[in-house]
Structure 1
């Protein structure tokens, strides 16, 4: 499984997202699974890759939190969580999407 976190430069939600992703992987017994973080700083690149805000988690190249109609661009991203809007998905949300991706392999 290939996992990547895409962020804009100096994204304040990069670290919480990485920490929550690591916790989700550990909970699933996938602690050895590595992931990378990539900075997207160019509007043309954001458009080309369909970057829908920072942070974006890609699992095998797919954004499991994608919302139809969202315009690509260099911006912050807001996630819908059980506690309301947040700058990063919860550990539980990440666990569910990783588990789903792992089951689909």
Structure 2
């Protein structure tokens, strides 16, 4: 089980005005990225089929091969969505999903 946290969760769940570009989750102290092995296929299939878009997901192991991520201690997935394939001048839309193996203090929503 994952706990949604960070700036995006504050904005979406509590109406906060902080803008964040990624989705942050705490997986708990026993979390490992192997627990989300099916995440890549699920996201690609769901978004691709539902919206008819080309979707690619880079898993943490793919990112760690890049020297920029060699010291990575939080598992990061990068999701790229091609929203306008006919428009080569437009960049892919990217969503960053981060899962840390740290404990969340509670799974209960706070007021």
TM-score of the aligned structures, taking structure 1 as reference length: 0.32
Q: Please tell me whether Structure 1 or Structure 2 has the larger radius of gyration of its CA atoms.
A: 2
TM-score of the aligned structures, taking structure 2 as reference length: 0.31
